Structure 1
Amino acid sequence: MPTPPYRDPNRPVDERVEDLLTRMTLAEKAGQLFHTTLTMNADGTLAEAEEGGPLRQGTTELVVDGHLSHFNLVGQYGVRETAEWANRLQALAADTRLGIPVTLSTDPRHAFIDNPGASFHSGAFSAWPEPLGLAAIGDPELVEKFGDTIRREYLAVGFRVALHPQIDLATEPRWSRQSGTFGSSAEVTSALVRAYIRGLQGPRLGPRSVAAMVKHFPGGGPRKDGEDPHFPHGKDQVYPGGMRDLHLAPFRAAIEAGCSQLMPCHGRPIGVDGWEEVGFGFNRDVLTGLLRERLGFDGIVCTDWGLLTDAPVLGESHEARAWGVEHLSVAERAAKALDAGADQFGGEQCPEVVVELVRSGRISEERLDTSVRRLLREKFALGLFDTPYVCPNRAEETVGAAEFTALGQSAQRRSLTVLTNRSLLPLTDRPNLYVEGVVAQTASLYGNVVTDPVDADVAVLRLRTPHEERPGRFESFFHSGSLAFPEKRLKEILGLLDAVPTLVCVNLERPAVLPEIAAKAAALVADYGACDAALLDIAFGRARAEGRLPFELPRSMAAVEASRPDVPGDTEDPVFPYGHGLEI
């Protein structure tokens, strides 16, 4: 039999897309509209559903029966095993009727925070500061190198879509997702997202690219009370300062830079003229009126995860994030999202719903074809039809390679931000060190570690931004609520600062409220994801801290509560303003 045109790499992409589209059944088209999560077995074999097991549907069922070909791998695994699993998955897809290859995606895997709803600890991948740290450095050239590092490490194991960057503006100090942003400045975020996309995609999307799914359109930062829209109590997005266009600015930059995909925010806008008060994934005013028509975006729009069906997360039941349309059926929600302009449903695996919508006449097959064309075009552009497999040996050589590790370690050190220094830094000789939150073995390379502060010349104390414990296993990963240290803990910290000159390092996943600590610490440093050696290298003058605060640090929770969530730098009399940082 002659080779069908869609299999011919010498033909134009659009011709290959149209040829394949004409051969697809309705069920095969519907399967493309679902981008769900997938796990793998630790030995690199495909995970299948077992009676009483955690999987609703196994890998073979999803690919062969459901015709799905877009998957988000969750969890951390060995490098070789991941590459071998990706090859097994592609071989399974190659054996289907049309042999449509799989597009694999992932949440961020290159930093320190481990949140199953947002990002994974770097593990075998090179370890960099969180994006907030890259914003603290503010160097687009470095961010482009970071994007290129991600690209090369992802390609090695088969990931072809990055479910990042996250370019929401960090304007609500309490919001739990700020660590994944480039801070509160629209100008800085716009510059860095352009560089990030260049690093991931190159000058144009091609076989050596990783497609960028930029999120969360039209900017997820203005959260009412700082709560997260993964949960019903965080679904509302508000603009009391009238800054809607400011939050749009980074997305304009991303579109101009050629980002391949965009993810709408889970939240729903409240009190915004011209915008229906429904989740952005269902919002025609935003996805068609603003994104498609006004901003001219013709790439893929993939909803954030879990908009259609109630589903378990980490063993807990969670309602669909169908904010504003909770009363609609699953089919009605799917139809509303498609009418709004979405192409794909993130975290869902119910193509039969779309098949029935078309058969009933509620959605036309032509509307389906519009989205399927976009999805197939990206697969062809990425070269997946021609070279879907990866080399496990090359994967082991590439992921965590010395070149990438060195770049990440340098970025960790550069990102550290010196907020105060009362003649403590740099430290010299080998002082007696009392440490908390620092691995003693690492500290022993710099000084003599003692177990009692009274015997110390200097103390090194590492802290994390405070948060309120929330019920539920999943929500516990989203650090929300108060930014102030509880009274008992604050008393303990201040007691140490009174007892011995102390270098305090606070990991800023959100802005911390720490005026008393700032006043008493012999030196105060902010980090956004950095190993102990990075901090101690800065402390002992072996490396240079270049960071500047990517958001302000408020003076009190009262100031936070009085600020407007859509306005950057809006707390009264902050302890440290945006951009603060000292040289030592």
Structure 2
Amino acid sequence: MSLEEKVGQLFVTNVYGSQADVVTDTERAANRLAYGVDTGAEVVRKYHLGGAIYFTWTNSVQNPSQITALSNGLQAAALDSGAEVPLLVAIDQEQGIVTRVGPPATQLAGNMALGAGRSSADTRTAAQITGAELRAMGINQDFAPDADVNVNPANPVIGVRSFSSDPTLAADLTAAAVAGYQDDAGIAATAKHFPGHGDTAVDSHLGIPLITHTREQWETLDAPPFRAAIDAGVDSIMTGHIVVPALDPSGVPATLSKPIVTGVLRQELGFDGVVYTDALTMEGVRAAYTDAEIPVLALEAGVDVLLMPFEGSMDVAYQGVLDAVRSGRISERRLDQSVRRVLELKVKNGIVAAPMADPAGLAGVVGTPEHLATAQAITDRTTTLVTNDGTLPITPAGARVLVVGPDAATTGALTTSLGARGAHVTTMVTGTSPDAAMRAAAVVAAGGSDVVVALTNNAHGGTAAAANVRALLAELGATPTPLVAAAIRNPYDVAYGAGVESWLATYSVKPVAIEALARTITGEVTPQGALPVDVPAAGEGTTAYPFGAGLGW
């Protein structure tokens, strides 16, 4: 391979266009601004790219047929780019809140719901379903599972993306997910965000998070899921743009830290697979470094693959690495180490032998009745009943039910599910910050109902919006009508609402989770989930509901 082809293998980036060779005027303009060429195929050929990553906003990800055609078109461009090395085609399909490919692909509730289900078998099956459907569409790498241990309820970027606040449970399910993606579905898994993004109150997309764990705390809390992933043979690990002084006192983000990437991940944990950066567009890595220097520093730290250089800076990043090798700052031996890891990953996963996806096989894999039924059964086992005074389960036939919630999608999904069971349902979309007038209208509607079901999305925290959601719960709870509340994202909401007769947690807004909620409310399934995190008491330093809390009938 030429030097230019080797360097290209170290870059994975987004390209614009729902097709590889045909673009709209808007897509052409975006590619021109970012890369100086018109189409995604031209981007692949220009830089001899090692991989591409899909997003809805860059590729108009629409349906399995479109995705498959895009994958095959980009692969054809890669095979025509000089070295004839096919692409890693990657996506963030974590399940739950981070899902790029929607229906008809099978949807699942996500990591924290699986943590509530406590089943390694279910977690592995969920990963196998997701992985098999991605592979059928020509996507051969999933940037999942999230291996962070979410010990901070105020974490703005991880939350339900984590399996648990318990490192042992998170480790067990991380290993199960890796097996599902790799051993069962045959795609590359990626444990992220090393060395652990679970205890931060800063979003690394917007700033530089500081993790203040001691070395002993890191070993106990953050490291176990990554050790488990490595033991399970995970193909790749993604770094986080986080500062961890206990591992590197210099203040350098982990992505650019040789003590963390080479010292801890490579030498201490023994990982010799592919190390990815998190997206280099994120402020957590760009705040103190130039776009030309960032990729060179990452390679010097021990990283292999540079993900998504800042918009418009691909030429700068690519040339920066070329110049570093030509000047001797990065040796060709060091460059070859990373290129070899990337190529070995492609060979191992059959990408070199069979880079193209078969469109004729989509119907037998993506969103099949079997996959959908299995996803629902898994999710039914995750819904958690935290408190209940006997209000649940309800008899839906003829019951007058008021459903209130932050958005039309989730309230509508629950309304449909309860209505299908014979309930007479009134729906109110209260928004994410219900004002006094909206709360008053909800109270009036509650007066004509037999039961109220309130869906909450982040009632905890110090924002005005959260305070308004808590006020809505309190005002509904003060009426004579029984109030059932369900936290449909972070389970920390269950610490609020003194007048709530029954609290549940779904950990997800996905329709599959809302259907499981309806089945639980009406008694079709017995709640089996247990809290995968400690829920702190409102405004106190104590625990309202501990890890493991959960009721049945």
TM bucket, shorter chain: 0.7 to 0.9
Higher RCO (CA-CA < 8 Å; seq separation 6+): 1
Query: Could you tell me how far apart the structure 1 residues matched to 2:491 and 2:465 are?
Result: 13
Give the aligned partner of residue 214 of structure 1.
Answer: 191
Partner of 1:578: 547
What is the correspondence of 1:534-573 to structure 2 with a 5 Å cutoff? 534-557=516-539, 559=540, 572-573=541-542
**Residue 444 of structure 1: CA displacement?**
1.8
> Which residue matches 2:326?
359
- The separation in 1 between residues aligned to 2:371 and 2:30, in whole angstroms, is 42
Q: Which residue of 495, 503, 511 corresponds with 2:484?
A: 503
| Partner residue of 1:388 out of 355, 360, 369 | 355
| Aligned counterparts of 1:135 and 1:319: Cα–Cα separation in 2 | 30
Residue 522 of structure 1 and its aligned partner are, at CA, apart by 1.8
Kept in 2, the 8 Å contact 1:484–1:513? The answer is no
Partner of 1:141: 121
Counterpart-to-counterpart distance in 1, 2:32 and 2:543 = 47
1:41-440 map, 5 Å: 41=18, 45=22, 50-51=28-29, 56-57=34-35, 58-75=39-56, 76-108=61-93, 110-111=95-96, 113=97, 118-120=98-100, 122-176=102-156, 177-202=158-183, 209-223=186-200, 226-232=201-207, 234-239=208-213, 242-246=216-220, 247-270=222-245, 272=246, 275-306=249-280, 319=283, 321-322=285-286, 326=288, 328-348=289-309, 349=314, 350-428=317-395, 429-437=397-405, 438-439=411-412, 440=415
CA displacement 1:338-366 (0-9 Å, x = unmatched): 12111111112432221111112211111
Q: Give the match's secondary structure for 2:493.
A: coil
Residue of structure 1 equivalent to 2:430: none
Cα distance in 1 for partners of 2:24, 2:268 equals 43
2-structure distance, mates of 1:551, 1:119 = 22
Letter in 2 for 1:520: G
Q: 1-side partners of 2:22 and 2:106: how far apart?
A: 25
Once residues 121 and 91 of structure 1 are traced to their aligned partners in structure 2, the CA distance between those partners, rounded to angstroms, is 22
In structure 1, how many angstroms separate the alpha carbons of the residues matched to 2:239 and 2:30? 34
Structure 2 residue runs without a partner (length 5+): 406-410, 428-444
How far did 1:484 drift?
8.5
Q: Which residue of 1 aligns with 2:440?
A: none
* Local SS of the residue matching 1:72: strand
Counterpart of 1:9 in structure 2 is: none
**Distance in 2 (alpha carbons) for counterparts of 1:392 and 1:422:** 52
* SS in structure 2 at match of 1:411: helix
- Whole-Å separation in 2 of the counterparts to 1:72 and 1:510: 31
Q: Residue 28 of structure 2 aligns to a residue in which SS? A: coil
Indicate the RMSD between aligned Cα atoms, in angstroms: 2.4
CA contact (8 A) 1:433 1:460 kept: yes
2:462 equivalent to 1:482:
yes
Q: Which amino acid aligns with 2:504?
A: V
- CA distance 1:502–1:181, change in 2 (3 Å): same
- Once the two structures are superposed, residues 54-110 of structure 1 have per-residue CA deviations (whole angstroms, 9 ceiling, x without a partner) of 851242332112111311111132111111111111112222323111110100163
Is contact 1:109–1:122 with CA below 8 Å preserved after alignment?
no
CA distance in 2, matches of 1:339, 1:351: 15
Q: 1:320 Cα deviation (Å)?
A: 6.7
Q: Is structure 2 residue 474 aligned with structure 1 residue 465?
A: no
Provide the rounded CA distance (Å) in 2 between the counterparts of 1:102 and 1:222.
34
Q: Distance in 1 between matches of 2:452 and 2:346?
A: 54
Deviations 1:103-156 (A, max 9, x none): 101001633x2xxxx543633221211200000001001111111111210111
Shift of 1:274: 5.1
1:222 and 1:72, CA in 2 relative to 1: closer, same or farther beyond 3 A?
A: same
2:248–2:260 contact (8 Å) kept in structure 1? no
CA distance in 1, matches of 2:340, 2:172: 31
Q: What letter corresponds to residue 334 of structure 1 in structure 2?
A: P
Looking at structure 2, the residues matched to 214 and 257 of structure 1 have their Cα atoms a distance apart, in angstroms, of: 11
Q: Distance in 2 between matches of 1:484 and 1:415?
A: 30
Deviations 1:266-293 (A, max 9, x none): 11113x2654320101111111111111
Give the whole-Å Cα distance in 2 for the aligned partners of 1:262 and 1:244. Answer: 17
Native 8 Å contact 2:15 2:40 kept in 1: yes
Alpha-carbon spacing, 1:426–1:513, altered in 2? closer, same or farther (3 Å): closer
Given residue 237 of structure 2, which amino acid in structure 1 is its aligned partner?
Answer: L
8 A contact 2:19–2:73 mirrored in 1: no
**Aligned pair partner of 1:445 in 416, 420, 437:** 420
Report the TM-score, using the length of structure 1 for normalisation. Answer: 0.82
Q: Check whether the contact 1:169–1:184 (CA below 8 A) recurs between aligned residues.
A: yes
Deviation, 1:252, is 0.7
SS in 2 for 1:525: strand
Q: Secondary structure at the match of 1:430?
A: coil
Change in CA separation of 1:347 and 1:450 when aligned onto 2, cut-off 3 Å? closer
Change (3 A) 1:169 1:547: same
The SS at the match of 1:269 is coil
**Distance in structure 2 (CA, Å) of the matches to 1:62 and 1:533:** 42
- Give the structure with the larger helix fraction: 2
Partner SS, residue 544 of structure 1: coil
* CA deviation profile, 1:175-217 (whole Å, cap 9, x unmatched): 02111111101110111111111111118xxxx6111111011
Report the Cα offset of residue 244 of structure 1: 1.0
Note if contact 1:213-1:259 (Cα within 8 Å) is conserved in structure 2.
yes
Overall identity of the aligned pairs, in %: 27
Tell me, in whole angstroms, the C-alpha distance in 1 between the residues paired with 2:400 and 2:79.
62
- Are 1:46 and 1:85, in contact at CA under 8 Å, matched by a contact in 2? no
Q: Deviations over 1:17-68 (max 9, x none)?
A: xxxxxxx000000001111123432799567963477851242332112111
- Report the Cα distance in structure 1 between the residues aligned to 2:188 and 2:477, rounded to whole angstroms: 48
| Cα deviation digits, residues 450-490 of structure 1 (max 9, x gap) | 473222111111111137xxxxxxxxxxxxx6379644443
Task: Find the residue that maps to 2:527 and give its secondary structure.
Answer: coil
